[in-house]
Structure 1
Amino acid sequence: MNIIIIEDELKTAKSLENMIISLRPGANITGRYQSVESSVAALSANGQPDLIFMDIQLADGLSFEIFKEVKITCPVVFCTAYDEYSLDAFKSNGVDYVLKPFSKDDIQNALTKVDELKNFFQQKGVPDLGELLGRFSVPEGKTTFLVFKNNKYATIQTEDIAYFYIRNESTSIMCFNKQEYAINQSLDQVAGAVSAKQFFRLNRQYLINFRAINEVEHYFMRKLYVKLTIETSEKLLINKEKSHSFLAWMENR
């Protein structure tokens, strides 16, 4: 079975690959892609694999954009940190999903379902995923976050948040007014909930608002140095593999 993985977090992609190979030793991971752009290029040039594991939110946008450029004719297992994209609709049309953080059992269950549906795909063909995607609109993202500080609950407007970041292994919010709040969601969950047009995951520690960007500079080793209007405790650097996606995100909004 030839499988490709479309996932913008390298650590998650590697973990997923290891699980797949462990569960299906005969599987061949033929490609790993981090963005809509690279996925479209690969699928256009190399044809269809037998199965795709695909994250929903990629470095340069939602993976649904891939279906607008390439006709997918193989089953897809969507991997996501949230469940707000009519996943039941995907389930009823011959594809499955796993929620992050996923376990080996989750991947086993997804592979088992694909095996059980194999005859269906061979005899009937997969449904038109483009038509399926057209039946619902992509939400713009979460508009508020509930926070607790000084023994009081309050809601923070997402548009007022400059960036989300990891501090002491917990997720915190930094607002444009320099107020900080801790929240009980992982950064993966937050990234899946907010608008992909408005927020970008720079690295494992930071998810930034476009409005918070002051300037971007070239840095050593072909990295980018992102300076925000709100000071951060460390330099925000983007590695060369992700810099193209970041610049495309800045331009195509």
Structure 2
Amino acid sequence: MNIIIIEDEFRAAKSLQNLISELKPESKITGVYDSIEMSIEALSKGSMPDLIFMDIHLSDGLSFEIFKQVDITCPVVFCTAFDQYMLDAFKSKGVDYVLKPFSREDISEALRKVDELKKFFQKNELPELESLLQKIAQPQAASKSNFLVFKNQKYTTIQTENIAYFYIHNEITHLVTFDKEQFQLSQSLGQVAEQVSEKQFFRINRQYLINFKAIKEMEHYFQRKILVKLTIETPEKLLINKEKTHSFFTWLEDR
């Protein structure tokens, strides 16, 4: 499988290369491009790869411009730190995405989905850019209002608005309420993030998805990270790396 990466963040591109090589050693990364201009030139002159990992926000604009200039006939996995609503439109068309900062598990899951769906990724089945943009403009589907949980041999429902945060421990997703009750979930944190309101919840890192109402204060931390403190205690310090601080503050202001 020939793969190209379109990503303007050096660390993210390097991390993707390493993870892809580890998870799919038989694949070959045939190019890494950091701009729309370079990507269009490479895709226009060279042969089409079998898969593209593509960031949405590049140094010279949105990567959608590439689709206007090049007839892309292979599956695309979009990789971005924000614009989750936009990514949902692509996901509904059979193309996956990973959310930065991504993990080994995220890339592994994306590659698995592509393998399962590759027979559908024929030229006449790929979404047209116009239809994607129309879908993006449509209202977002209603978010999940409650979660069914099981504890002490009993089932009960927890209202989503009463959940302070979700987190992963020992590869199991937990939800914690404002009353400090804790329950295990069968869904992955990524699946939970897709079900709750993106206006209300933000995935600050690989382990935590937090409710806006639970945020108490924030402060600068080492290595240009942001330390987030909630109104209730968390098992670990909640740190946002410098690559994600912009999208986090945009999310805070966008309400």
| Residues matched between the structures, number | 217
Q: Distance in 2 between matches of 1:198 and 1:224?
A: 19
The worse-fitting range, judged by mean Cα deviation, of 193-202 and 20-29 is 20-29
Residue 117 (1) aligns with residue 123 (2): yes
Shift of 1:44: 6.1
Q: Distance in 2 between matches of 1:54 and 1:245?
A: 16
Equivalent residue number for residue 75 of structure 1: none
Cα 1:12/1:157, change in 2 over 3 Å = farther
Residue 97 (1) aligns with residue 95 (2): yes
Q: Secondary structure at the match of 1:195?
A: coil
Equivalent residue number for residue 180 of structure 1: 182
Equivalent residue number for residue 78 of structure 2: 54
- Residue in structure 2 matching 1:64, options 71, 86, 90: 86
Unaligned runs of 5+ in 1: 68-77, 80-86, 91-95
Counting only pairs closer than 5 Å after superposition, residues 1-253 of structure 1 correspond to structure 2 as 4=6, 17-18=20-21, 25=28, 27-31=30-34, 38-39=57-58, 42-43=61-62, 47-48=66-67, 50=72, 52-54=76-78, 59-64=81-86, 78=90, 87=92, 90=93, 96-98=94-96, 102=109, 104=111, 106-114=113-121, 116-117=122-123, 126=128, 128-130=130-132, 132-133=134-135, 136-253=138-255
User: Is the contact between residue 226 and residue 241 of structure 2 (CA under 8 Å) also seen in structure 1?
Assistant: yes
Shift of 1:104: 4.5
User: Is the contact between residue 173 and residue 182 of structure 1 (CA under 8 Å) also seen in structure 2?
Assistant: yes
State the identity %: 39
Q: Which amino acid aligns with 1:108?
A: D
Q: Which amino acid aligns with 2:158?
A: I
The two structures have a TM-score, normalised by structure 1, of 0.68
User: Is the contact between residue 213 and residue 228 of structure 1 (CA under 8 Å) also seen in structure 2?
Assistant: yes
Unaligned runs of 5+ in 2: 35-52, 98-105
The structure with higher relative contact order (CA 8 Å, sep 6+) is 1
Q: What CA RMSD, in Å, does the superposition of the two structures yield over aligned residues? A: 3.9
Shift of 1:215: 0.6
Shift of 1:179: 1.2
Q: Distance in 2 between matches of 1:175 and 1:155?
A: 12
Q: Distance in 1 between matches of 2:118 and 2:23?
A: 9
Equivalent residue number for residue 83 of structure 1: none
Q: Which amino acid aligns with 2:95?
A: Y
Q: Which amino acid aligns with 1:185?
A: Q
User: Is the contact between residue 191 and residue 207 of structure 1 (CA under 8 Å) also seen in structure 2?
Assistant: yes
